[in-house]
A and B are shown apart, each in its own frame.
Chain A
């Protein structure tokens, strides 16, 4: 077996004196400083509340939404798959019989406690009928009380996805 000789650095006087390394480091940071100071548009950060991020991808997991059928009724069949898959147990579903003949079951209440939710997306993956998604693109959720963080069925149904149907994780 051939022995691979790894070159060792740092033993010459030039490297041991550190002066050149120090100068090179200082030069680099000074260059960054002067370019950014003379033209602040070089800085890649964005001024957040005024400038919203423009790079949210279609796989981004934002606030949840409940999708609808073509006839504008709720797609969810209250199968409890999402609530079962949820690792933080933040989905609360109460089922009831569906009387309009479209399906057999529908959720009477469907609420998500956003303070518990860890936005893992397991509910979206678990859903057999693509009823819950996280493609609203909403990442900033603000409320004044704990109760307001529990979003109910009506609120979830009112959200619209910013990306097309074909981007669903379930399908």
Chain B
């Protein structure tokens, strides 16, 4: 049990970063399609089961794994050439591990942190590691020994000097507000209520710093509208022009993990982390039976809504609507099992530790939901806005975001001193 509770957050990190990649690829393609009035990938299937096209990224992954590892002959610095995708991937992955997935939990007298790396300087770790990712891009661009790649690396470096300061300054305002650099303390502070009815989320306490942080986090992940380093239309694919097979896949996965990690940090700082609005850990402990009853009502309602949506819209079914039928049966069976389990819990009553575990699971689900929503915003923004030119990024960073962030720190500090907090 002890070992499991220590390994559990590490497992969660793996799930949140690696297992979500196919989901994110699928989401990206599907959301892009729906925004552009198309359907998106829906042909890949296993015996007629398409799962709404989610088989497609798995097929893509298989393809990339079995492709030939090709090394262009003109590359002189092979060590750096191979190292670069590893840096991108590793930095994205490591920046994820300080995020708290649920509140601290006490089992058998031990207090466990649901964080893969339970250190107090969470936000500093994120800032330090996430900005390493761009070194991977720069090294890749340089070692590719190719004009386009060099230009991409140049753009990446020009971008990194323009957003990182604004990002750091935006984080400073949060540090002043929460008076802590530990991510878990920040999330616990966001579980409180402001004036008794608004959740004290970061975006409400610090709207301007929140906006600056979101913008710079978009730049950090090298995603549209800040994907000038990639710039397919002008400089081919820049830093990953010369990469193929799994080396390319590492860049690709690194981008999605970075997106997920940025979403996780944005959610943790701005949108209350794992907190369910109006229900912090203590409130949930007091009203655990009410929470169970709410679940008892919500789960069948949501499943019914989903089944109705699926029966209406899963019209291009390759297997003569067999998939819809199976999915309906599967969801119904799941809901019935879940409901009977909840009834059992309600009738037998929960001990304090059992309800702690239940609350932990709910908080992890809430966190996952928020991260997926934030990932959706990333995708949504990508398919809405055109790319910034790299001098425009510098203009935005130096002339707009940095002065705004400095002003924000100034006023936050004055407010904190006057309020005497």
Which A positions have Cβ atoms within 8 angstroms of B? 22, 25-26, 28-30, 32-33, 36-45, 47, 50
Contacts and interface: CB of A to CB of B under 8 A. Distances in A.
Given A29-B380, A30-B380, A33-B380, A43 B312 contact: no
B301 interface: no
Contact of B35 (A22, A32, A50): A32
A36 B312 CA distance: 12
B38 interface: yes
Contacts of B385: 22, 25
A47 to B, nearest CB: 5
A75 to B, nearest CB: 43
B316 A33 contact: no
B37 interface: yes
A29 B35 contact: yes
Interface residues of B, number: 17
A26 B384 contact: yes
Contacts of A36: 34-35, 37
B315 interface: yes
Interface centre among A22, A26, A40, A47 (most CB of B within 10 A): A40
Contacts of A50: 316
Given A43-B39, A50-B316, A25 B384 contact: yes
Chain A contact residues: helix, strand, loop or mixed:
helix
Interface in B163-216: none
A50 B43 CA distance: 12
A40 B316 CA distance: 10
Interface in B26-40: 31, 34-39
Interface string B311-342: 01101100000000000000000000000000
B380 A43 contact: no
B315 A43 contact: no
Interface of B: 31, 34-39, 309, 312-313, 315-316, 380-381, 383-385
B107 to A, nearest CB: 41
Contacts of A38: 309
9 contacts: A25-B385, A28-B384, A29-B380, A29-B383, A32-B34, A33-B35, A38-B309, A41-B315, A47-B39
B315 A40 contact: yes
Given A33-B31, A39-B312, A50-B316, A45 B38 contact: yes
B209 to A, nearest CB: 16
A41 B385 CA distance: 26
Given A36-B34, A39-B313, A50-B316, A26 B381 contact: yes
A138 to B, nearest CB: 23
Nearest to A42: B37
B192 to A, nearest CB: 29
Nearest to B38: A45
A38 B305 CA distance: 11
A22 B39 CA distance: 25
Contacts of A40: 39, 313, 315-316
A43 B39 CA distance: 7
A85 B384 CA distance: 47
B49 to A, nearest CB: 17
Contacts of B381: 26
B258 to A, nearest CB: 22
Contacts of B313: 37, 39-40
A30 B35 CA distance: 7
A25 B35 CA distance: 12
A28 B384 CA distance: 9
A43 B37 contact: yes
A28 B385 CA distance: 11
A134 B312 CA distance: 41
Given A39-B312, A39-B313, A40-B313, A29 B384 contact: yes
Nearest to A25: B384
A37 B315 CA distance: 13
B380 A26 contact: yes
B162 to A, nearest CB: 16
Contact of A37 (B34, B36, B38, B384): B34
Identify the 9 closest CB pairs spanning chains A and B, nearest first.
Answer: A36-B34, A40-B313, A29-B384, A29-B35, A47-B316, A25-B384, A33-B34, A33-B35, A32-B35
Contacts of B383: 29
B227 to A, nearest CB: 17
Contacts of B316: 40, 47, 50
A14 B31 CA distance: 30
